[in-house]
Structure 1
Amino acid sequence: MVKKQDQVTHNAKPTAVESRGGKSTIAIKGTFPEKYFAKKATMTITPAIKNYNGEIKQLTPIDFQGEKADGKGQIINYKEGSGFNSVQNIPYDPAFGKSILVLNSTVKKGEKEIKLNEKEIGEVNMSTKRQDIDPKLVYKNQTSDGTNYYFSEHNYIPNNLVVKTATIFFDFNSDKLNWNLPFNQKEENKQALSELFPFLMDYDSIQSIDIEGWASPEGELRRNQQLSNNRSLVGKKWFEKELESYLKKQSKETKSFMKRLTYKLYDKGEDWDGFINALKNANIEDKDKIINVIQSQATKIQKEQQIQNMIAIYDEIDQKILPCLRRSYFKISCVENLRTDEEIMRLVNISPDSLTKNELLYAASLTNDMEMKKKIFSKAIELHPEDYRGYNDLACIKVAEGKTDEAKKLFENANVLKSNNDVVLNNLGIMSYQDKDYGKSEKYFNESQKAGMDQSKNLALVKDTIYTIDYQTKPDIEETANDDKTKKQKSEDD
């Protein structure tokens, strides 16, 4: 068997070019020729991979035995010979990324054990990779399977209704203005009232000015209805006077503007819902009991009497809950973004600086022309350098153009201007993934998820390591080496 060892043939082939689970597999096949394997002999073939630093990683030994030998291996017939096939798992180790597959065989007969010559049968190249991706450029509200680079939200809503509210509070059983009341003295309430008139001037389309008069529910029903009506009228009178004063200070034409306004007055009566909700949020230990007692009464008169009883016991009801219900409530409704899509696209070409930031970015969503999108996003950066969206969106276009270095800088600029933005972090994660920087990619995806975007699919991609293996038989290696040598010699001769 020792003398004829070269007659034993071996070859190997990966069972799959790609695999998962931290390992690759390779099938080693061989053939023992006729009249080779002694009947009382045993043999162990130990495959191993040897890297170019001389390190060795042994694989699973393969045992064989002759027809009359005591052993545990595959029986090989002396007269006919036999083939064998062994599937070997090769755990991935970067140190053995490029290795030689060798076979070390030991023959044993009786007490005698002989090691055969080590046999190199091929070269193994192992590496890792991730699934290839082909990201699309989309907006978050668009349906798209797979991975995506996202444009920023333009936040533009055509014909969008916007509302501003404020409140004036009144004393018990009164419809007279009293600015010294505690609720009227609160800074947030003063601020809300002062913002009503600038708000009106910001919009061309004023849909309505609603003024509601309300009363607290502890008084007599007819009187409360009268109070709520009067409070809406007093609110309107105050509003008109203050608006006229504001317009004069702003040097605005007064009469024509005020004629355009439409008021809707509502006498809402007693605010029972407001009372119950305020009571639920109050810092009163027995509030649930109080609510049950009041709501169990059959008539409004009985309910009002119960409130009177509670006022005598609980100061918070008298001093905080009921005073906030006696009010004039202002609600101004305006419509913004009245330009048509056609008008916006016309202005993009002739006067982009006349558009708002949101209108400009909205215009880019109206066209599929990448050059036009690039022009718009570049103009957005020029006009609004403080807004991260222009940088993020132009970066997406650069990705489509294959200019990844420029795209990366733009994404990073966007991230500086708007940290913790889910879209920007997603895009940085996709770019890192395509750069094969999977650690950084996972970091960005996790941060994007914390900022609100579902990143379960992208995180699964990052963690899904694919192990690749390539195998060359020894003759192929020698042939490649000879070809390289021939090319080198020819180059030197030239």
Structure 2
Amino acid sequence: MRMKLCVPFLGALMLAVLSACSSKMGELSSDYFTVTPQVLEADAGKVPATINGKFPEKYFNKKAIVEVTPVLRWDGGEARGEATTFQGEKVQGNDQTISYKMGGNYTLRTSFDYVPEMAKSELYLEFKATVGKKTVEIPAVKVADGVISTSEMVEQTLESATPATGNDAFQRVIKEKRDANIMFLIQQANIRASELKNAKNFTAEAKDINESANKKITDIEISAYASPDGGLDLNTGLAEKRRDNTEKALGRELKKADITAPVDAQYTAEDWEGFQELVSKSDIQDKELILRVLSMYSDPEQREQEIKNISAVYKTLADEILPQLRRSRLTLNYEIIGKSDEEISKLAKENASELNLEELLYAATLTNDQNEKMNIYQSAVKLYPEDCRAYNNIGKIYYQQGNMDKAESYYKQSLQHKESPEANMNLGLISLKKGDVAAAETYLGKAAGAEGLNEAMGNLYIAQGKYDQAVASFGETKTNSAALAQILAKNYNKARTTLDGIQTPDAYTDYLKAVLAARTNNPSAVTASLKKAVSANPSLAKKAAVDLEFAKYFTNADFMSIVQ
């Protein structure tokens, strides 16, 4: 009788024990999780991760609900990803169901907004579990380390970027010309006394130019014409005589004025080009018909006949247009010689008001002293406040000095005066430096034609995580940013060439050399380059000490002696 009572009791006890075991959802081993990438890496301001996880067999209680949240933790803070919920087989819901007997696999994709503190961080999965109304504790599991933040160095490499300059339009030698006409009567080649005055006046002006200290005559052109009425042979002889007579008359006047200059005398038998120009500018009736004839026929005689057939307008042509074509055109070509570099530099320092705007902007290019440049541009702003270029160039100096607030202020003042591509490009660089990629893209979209735009676009592409496009945009540019793009695109040979070719290397040049050496397994170059970087900028020691680019050197005595 006692045996009969014991058997049911033991069965119930075993069932209770088994039930208790089946509801226990304890600690999960990190072996159940893989993360891609294995070491988290910042990309375009984000830290993405793909987590492949597994609930093992006979683990997930049939009545359980488990919420899994990726959490990136660092000293003093954390960033939480989006939670994903799983449910047991007896739970009614729309979440992924995990079999108690078979377990189940799952994939979580998460992304965190990058902050510098993440350089030394760890990725955990946190679990919030319930079985029925009971809360079950599942300890958090560390699944990855983070974060490699090399891509975020673009904010530092931008410091050595080259902002666009508002260039001057200075020309030391300016080419000018003066024109005069000697008019002829129909079918005449002799120069009338009234027209000879034009030659005398032309010569008088040439004499003034010849005697000017900063002007020089290069040559004189004579172009003689006949109007396109009459036969071609007649007009050829007529135009030739007009050329010869003009050349002789002008030659006499030039000799009297003691002017020696090359004279190039030419003639055109029938001036159809001049005819077309005068007709197109006139308000003659049927002028479109006349112009159509000129476009349809190239033979001079056929042209003339077709135009004469338009009898209603031919008299107007004969009275108003053709007489203007019977001429010799005199052209005096000369140069205005500007101030020397020495004169411009001296005036820029002592009396800037004696310089025009282009000379003043040019003066700034004659010195490498940033203070002198600043003074010159300040003078330009004072004397020519409506021009945008000096404001932009003052902003460039402040940018190169690291004063981004003042640089931004002057770039914006430049845009207030004119929507220039240079100021837009430079504000794009400022926006990238501030981490505002969207604003940078907007500014750079308005910078077409700015010198150095490809380099600026390369920096934008780095910030957007488009490393191959960045490499292409930089081309053969030798800058820290170009090398950074090449490292991120894993084009290590080109990165090495770029870093070696930078004309004015700085601490970040050497830091990038150390990163490159670490990625290409060159321990001696890691320590040598890092030592130079820290010597130039001691704050980089703290960065290197937690930079996972150097993770395998954290136990290296030489490395640690540099970063401690």
TM-score, normalising length: structure 1: 0.59
Q: CA separation in 2, counterparts of 1:420 and 1:76?
A: 67
1:266 aligns with 2:265: yes
Q: CA separation in 2, counterparts of 1:196 and 1:372?
A: 41
The letter of the residue matching 1:164 is K
The letter of the residue matching 1:404 is M
**Residue number among 225, 230, 241 corresponding to 1:226 in the alignment:** 241
1:399 aligns with 2:423: no
Q: CA separation in 2, counterparts of 1:443 and 1:40?
A: 53
2:334 corresponding residue in structure 1: 334
1:206 corresponding residue in structure 2: 217
**Residue number among 167, 177, 181 corresponding to 1:153 in the alignment:** 167
1:397 match: secondary structure: helix
1:162 corresponding residue in structure 2: 175
TM-fit CA distance, 1:441: 3.4
Map residues 425-440 of structure 1 onto 2, 5 A cutoff. 425-440=424-439
TM-fit CA distance, 1:229: 4.4
TM-fit CA distance, 1:399: 1.2
CA spacing shift, 1:38–1:348, aligned 2, 3 Å: closer
CA spacing shift, 1:114–1:132, aligned 2, 3 Å: same
The letter of the residue matching 2:49 is T
Structure 2: runs of 5 or more not aligned: 1-20, 73-79, 90-95, 282-286, 467-564
Q: CA separation in 2, counterparts of 1:462 and 1:339?
A: 42
Map residues 80-119 of structure 1 onto 2, 5 A cutoff. 87-90=107-110, 102-105=126-129, 116-117=136-137
CA-to-partner distance for each residue in 1:137-186, whole Å, 9 max, x for gaps?
Answer: 8xxxxxxxxx641111121234x34123445474651655989xxxx9xx
CA spacing shift, 1:150–1:377, aligned 2, 3 Å: same
CA spacing shift, 1:125–1:166, aligned 2, 3 Å: farther
The letter of the residue matching 2:357 is K
TM-fit CA distance, 1:286: 6.2
Please identify which structure carries the higher strand content: 1
Assess if the C-alpha contact under 8 Å between 1:422 and 1:448 holds in 2: yes
Q: CA separation in 2, counterparts of 1:92 and 1:204?
A: 68
The letter of the residue matching 1:334 is Y
Assess if the C-alpha contact under 8 Å between 1:171 and 1:178 holds in 2: no
1:7 match: secondary structure: coil
Residue correspondences, number: 400
Assess if the C-alpha contact under 8 Å between 1:27 and 1:87 holds in 2: yes
Q: CA separation in 2, counterparts of 1:286 and 1:308?
A: 6
Map residues 284-433 of structure 1 onto 2, 5 A cutoff. 284-285=288-289, 287-293=291-297, 295-296=298-299, 302=301, 306=305, 309=308, 312=311, 314-315=313-314, 318=318, 322-341=322-341, 344-345=344-345, 348=348, 354-416=354-416, 418-433=417-432
CA-to-partner distance for each residue in 1:69-115, whole Å, 9 max, x for gaps?
Answer: xxx9888999xxx9x98542126799xxx9996324467xxxx9987
TM-fit CA distance, 1:5: 2.7
Q: CA separation in 2, counterparts of 1:375 and 1:39?
A: 75
Structure 1: runs of 5 or more not aligned: 66-71, 138-146, 185-191, 241-254, 468-494
CA spacing shift, 1:58–1:383, aligned 2, 3 Å: closer
Q: CA separation in 2, counterparts of 1:224 and 1:49?
A: 92
1:447 aligns with 2:446: yes
2:419 match: secondary structure: coil
Assess if the C-alpha contact under 8 Å between 2:174 and 2:335 holds in 1: yes
Q: CA separation in 2, counterparts of 1:319 and 1:22?
A: 79
**Residue number among 195, 201, 215 corresponding to 2:226 in the alignment:** 215
Which segment is superposed worse, 397-406 or 204-213? 204-213
1:150 match: secondary structure: coil
1:216 match: secondary structure: coil
Assess if the C-alpha contact under 8 Å between 1:165 and 1:332 holds in 2: yes
2:505 corresponding residue in structure 1: none
Assess if the C-alpha contact under 8 Å between 2:228 and 2:272 holds in 1: no
TM-fit CA distance, 1:403: 2.1
CA-to-partner distance for each residue in 1:406-442, whole Å, 9 max, x for gaps?
Answer: 22332233333x3122222222332233233444434
Q: CA separation in 1, counterparts of 2:86 and 2:167?
A: 62
TM-score, normalising length: structure 2: 0.53
Name the Cα RMSD after superposition: 5.6
Q: CA separation in 2, counterparts of 1:340 and 1:361?
A: 14
